[in-house]
Amino acid sequence: MGDRGPLAADDGDGAGSGPAVAADPPVIMSDEPGSFARGVLAERHPAIIRQVRAAFPYERRQHEALDALLDEITGGVVEPLGPEDHDREQWAEWGRGHFGRSWYDVPFLWAESYFYRRLLGAVGYFGPGAWQGVDPFAPFKRAELRGEAVEEELWALDALADAPADERATALLRASLWGNRADLGFRVSAGEPTAGAAAASDLVADDSASLWQLLPAGGSSTTAVVADNAGRELIPDLILVDHLLEHRHAERVVLHVKPYPYYVSDAMTADVVDCLRRLTEAPGEAGRIGGRLWRAMATGGLEVRTDPFFCAPLPYDEMPEDLRKQFADVTLTILKGDLNYRRLVGDRLWDATMPFPARTAHFPGAVAALRTLKSDVIVGLDQATSDTLERSGAAWRTSGTHALVQVRG
């Protein structure tokens, strides 16, 4: 008898192979006109090239490389890295079957990741040369960090300083969650999000209580936080880390960041340093928080780590064994942001009511996702919430107007 594949069902007479086994839904692509994924490739990526070009006095070689990349992503086919590129073999493996095809005909997650790798190559980030290691997104991140919005958010900490610990914990967790709205790459195409505090009704799933149960005050746990964006998002992330340490929800926090520039505003070690300096220079409660975090770095209470996997176009179920062990050894891993969520559950068109624990069972240890919704992927909603959102007619999955806190203990 031939293999009937993963959708094989019982023949109806009791002699079949058993009940049907559902196949995974399709990987998200960018070939559907009007889709969010197509908009990212067709509109956001060209806009990012233009912004990067304007932000630096690049030389002729970089201008020509940026022109070539723009032509390729808008009307050409995916080209491999050159023989001089240090990671050519790695990307050849990751991109097997994708080269020579339209950028719209390869998986969306892969196309996004490879675009940023190619952009860094075009501006000479990996060298050799004078532009080696120069972050092409640094001007945007630093301008945001010095902006009025951050100033107002830091002043607001003074009013929160004397609040009861549980109220402060709730407020800081929400600030870290909604800080993801500050994603610079998202704002290129979506516009500045609506001002004002987000309503609790905008949370499509809220497992906050489960998160705090895993991190009781007075424990001796180690918590991992996998950062997403720098600037206006990383500041509240660091403030939440300070709360975890100061109120002994964690004895130690390991902050994981990207090894090189990625997705415009993703945080690297240099961005952590910039944010800590911004905090320490601020008056009042913000300055006190910055000072505590600065000292925590020196004493080992806060450690920054990175790994090449964080810039790989792969889901978390394919992470290397050494990184898997790091996450297995902590009490809880908090994954921030939309990209980490896509990599955690898989960048596919899942049924929104697929249980979050089922999609994250592969992750080594307890995991929490704090995410503002800015892509099509979502799991873990109850049926009533899913139905209400779908009937609304709004672009709730991609507009950044909704968020979630999901936990698998």
Q: What is the pLDDT of residue 181?
A: 58
pTM reported for the whole predicted model: 0.90
Facing residues of 229 across strands? 266
Q: What length does the chain have?
A: 409
Q: What is the 3-state secondary structure (H, E, C) of the chain?
A: CCCCCCCCCCCCCCCCCCCCCCCCCCECCCCCCCCHHHHHHHHHHHHHHHHHHHHCCCCHHHHHHHHHHHHHHHHCECCCCCCCCCCHHHHHHHCCCCCCCEHHHCCHHHHHHHHHHHHHHHCCCCCCCCCCCCCCCHHHHHHHHCCHHHHHHHHHHHHHCCCCHHHHHHHHHHHHHHHHHHCHHHHHHHCCCCCCCCCHHHEEEECHHHHHHHCCCCCCCEEEEECCECHHHHHHHHHHHHHHHHCCCCCEEEEEECCCCCCCCECCHHHHHHHHHHHHCCCHHHHHHHHHHHHHHHHCCEEEEECHHHHCCCCHHHCCHHHHHHHHCCCEEEEEHHHHHHHHHCCECCCCCCCHHHHCCCCCCCEEEEEECCCCCCCCCCHHHHHHHHHHCCCCCCCCCCEEEEEEC
Q: Which domains does the chain have, with CATH numbers?
A: 36-135 (1.20.930), 140-408 (3.40.50.10880)
Report cis status (omega within 30 of 0) of the bond before 107.
Answer: no
Q: In the structure encoding, which two tokens stand for residue 311, read together?
A: 């810039």
- Chain centroid to CA 33: 25
Backbone angles phi, psi at 22, to 5 degrees: -65, 135
Give dist(CA 102, CA 79) in Å, integer.
10
Is there a contact between 370 and 405 (Cβ–Cβ < 8 Å)? Answer: yes
pLDDT by position in tens, the chain (length 409): 333 233 233 333 344 444 444 688 999 999 999 999 999 999 999 999 999 999 999 999 999 999 999 999 999 999 999 999 999 999 999 999 999 999 999 999 999 999 999 999 999 999 899 999 999 999 999 999 999 989 988 998 998 888 898 999 999 999 999 986 544 343 333 444 333 344 556 999 999 999 999 999 988 899 999 999 999 999 999 999 999 999 999 999 999 999 999 999 999 999 999 999 999 999 999 999 999 999 999 999 999 999 999 999 999 999 999 999 999 999 999 999 999 999 999 999 999 999 999 999 999 999 999 999 999 999 999 999 999 999 999 999 999 999 999 999 9
DSSP 367: E
Counting Cα atoms < 13 Å in the Cβ hemisphere of 65 gives: 18
Is there a contact between 293 and 302 (Cβ–Cβ < 8 Å)? Answer: yes
Q: What is the pLDDT of residue 23?
A: 82
